[in-house]
Structure 1
Amino acid sequence: MNFTENGNAGHAGRIVLAATPIGNLGDATARLRELLATADVIAAEDTRTARRLCQGLGITPAGRLMAHHEHNEAASAQGLLEQVREGATVVMVSDAGMPTVSDPGFRLVATAVEAGVPVTCAPGASAVTTALALSGLPTDRFAFDGFLPRRDGERRRRLEEIRTDPRTVVYFESPQRTVAALAAVVDVLGPSRPVCVARELTKLHEEVVRGTAEEVLAWAEERTAGEGLRGEVVLVVGPASGEESVDDDADPVAEVEALASSGTRLKEAVAAVASAHGLRSRALYDAVLAARRA
């Protein structure tokens, strides 16, 4: 069992996880400004980004900037803990938002907790809760599931996990993969599943698109084919309606093969099964061919 005391009480040194603005510098809190100005060490996901943030806020850091990212986190964490034990205040910042939330910092916190080193948090902007609040989808129960996998099969398996989930689920997504992600939502969760795509949150060109998965996919395809989809993207998927099938044994590919073996033309079999399961015919057709090759 592990206990922690208030981060401002009685400790010579401590680690502070500090949330940074996700786009609008006006969202920087007074506490973040003070921490950046006075910390002994600023452990940053990218020191160049941290310097630009300080410059934008008109702050000259009193302490040192050190790189602390996914590639050096294991080694860096031990060095940072040693400095805290010697009395230093170490402020951990990611490029935007809250450290540890799909950003570096988790290993540092876990190591500090295990070692009994004080850790506290200076809360602030978060793309997760900002997108959730703007989505218009239920917020009483929600989950954050990081980035969807890059590979289509893995992405679909991840989405299958929430097919009957009664919670709203938030994902981060790359603008280059947003169309593929939405297509997978249509195929796996159905074209009528409510979704929201929030892009460039708090920035000048903020854009929030709400609708069914099919409608938002059509928007994303049109945007990608035109001016392109740019910036940071958050995908919010609404909860299951309760009408989704809970038959975990359903196998659309096997159903297609069963129809085909009975004499139905492959394309007709694919169309029939896709319609029954709310899938896109092309995606199911490709899955059948991939299964045959395997």
Structure 2
Amino acid sequence: MALPRTGTLHIVATPIGNRDDISARAIATLRQVAVIAAEDTRHTRPLLQHLGIDTPLVALHDHNERTAVDGLVERMRHGDDVALVSDAGTPLISDPGFRLVRAARQASLKVSPVPGASAVIAALSVAGLPSDRFIFEGFLPAKGGARKARLAELAGESRTLIFYESSHRILECLEDMREVFGVDREAVMARELTKLFETVLGAPLGELVGLVAADPNQEKGEFVVMVAGREAGEDERIAEGLRVFGILKEELPPAKAAKMAAAITGAPRKALYGA
């Protein structure tokens, strides 16, 4: 006797801006599943209407995920296919959903990806920064002190750093990066990717802060910020900077000694000020 069919959980990527970026497979999947679990049904419904899809929606977000998961898993146990979508891009990338995926896998249900748009990968592809090795940090802490502390932990990272940031904090975030990473560290800010006002600005952090501060429009929208990793050899420059600083501070005030040592050796001034 054949075992009853169980359903599949489809993890479906949706556009991050331009609706034409959705794949034919994603459209077919959203049409054929029994229900679509969406981060915000009010956001997903217009996309489905645009595509002519009338599949029922249920909400699955940070506040109800623990309670909603059991019902969705039970539906899949009884044969229903379920699609999971976020507001934009690939689900679970700084979005809810991992509890549902974990519960489905623990229940021996099939979980299948339907790949597509991802703001992280889209931004990295146009940044012109090293992309062979990178780390995604999601959103930094909202409060300045905690944000600087987290950035300080990443200051020695050699891989390209990728962050999400909101319009409310983008300038403060860039200013903190400038302070912690130094004015010369290369960075790229990708704003409103695939949308009408898409911009990609790349410059050393000292210049990038000025570009954004000078144009209020650059503080609007959704952001991916990428920062080059610490260059090989920077440890040596810091060591040499500290050596020169040690000599100069015997004759000069510490702040002036640090400034001159940084100019002579190329070591980040902040690292010498910290000494």
> What is the TM-score normalised by the length of structure 1?
0.80
Which whole-Å CA distance do the structure 1 matches of 2:7 and 2:122 have between them?
A: 32
Aligned counterpart, 2:49:
55
Which whole-Å CA distance do the structure 1 matches of 2:26 and 2:176 have between them?
A: 39
- Residue 161 (str. 1) matches residue 153 (str. 2): yes
Aligned counterpart, 2:85:
93
Q: CA deviation at 1:272?
A: 5.9
Sort the Cα spacing of 1:247 and 1:156 in 2 relative to 1 into closer, same or farther, 3 A: farther
What is the one-letter code of the residue matched to 1:189? F
Q: Please, which of 207, 212, 224 is the counterpart of residue 220 of structure 1?
A: 212
In the TM superposition, 1:24-39 aligns within 5 A as 24-39=18-33
- Residue 236 (str. 1) matches residue 226 (str. 2): yes
Aligned counterpart, 2:269:
278
Equivalent position SS for 2:201: strand
> 1:164 touches 1:244 (CA, 8 Å); kept in 2?
no
Aligned counterpart, 1:189:
181
- Residue 82 (str. 1) matches residue 74 (str. 2): yes
Q: CA deviation at 1:153?
A: 1.6
Unpaired stretches in structure 1, ≥5 consecutive residues: 1-9, 249-258, 288-294
> What is the TM-score normalised by the length of structure 2?
0.85
Q: CA RMSD in A?
A: 2.7
Which whole-Å CA distance do the structure 1 matches of 2:72 and 2:38 have between them?
A: 12
Q: CA deviation at 1:151?
A: 1.3
69-78 or 148-157, which deviates more? 148-157
Which whole-Å CA distance do the structure 2 matches of 1:47 and 1:97 have between them?
A: 15
Q: Please, which of 195, 206, 209 is the counterpart of residue 203 of structure 1?
A: 195
Aligned counterpart, 1:255:
none
Sort the Cα spacing of 1:55 and 1:34 in 2 relative to 1 into closer, same or farther, 3 A: same
> 1:14 touches 1:89 (CA, 8 Å); kept in 2?
yes
Query: 1:69-93: CA deviations, max 9, x gaps?
Result: 0000011111110000010000000
Aligned counterpart, 2:172:
180
> 1:163 touches 1:244 (CA, 8 Å); kept in 2?
no
Which whole-Å CA distance do the structure 2 matches of 1:269 and 1:132 have between them?
A: 40
- Residue 138 (str. 1) matches residue 130 (str. 2): yes
Unpaired stretches in structure 2, ≥5 consecutive residues: 239-248, 263-267
In the TM superposition, 1:257-268 aligns within 5 A as none
Q: Using the aligned pairs only, state the percent identity.
A: 41
What is the one-letter code of the residue matched to 1:237? V
> 1:164 touches 1:246 (CA, 8 Å); kept in 2?
no
What is the one-letter code of the residue matched to 1:74? R
163-172 or 18-27, which deviates more? 163-172
Which whole-Å CA distance do the structure 2 matches of 1:132 and 1:228 have between them?
A: 19
Equivalent position SS for 2:154: coil
Equivalent position SS for 1:175: coil
Q: CA deviation at 1:175?
A: 1.5
Equivalent position SS for 2:168: helix
> 2:38 touches 2:59 (CA, 8 Å); kept in 1?
yes
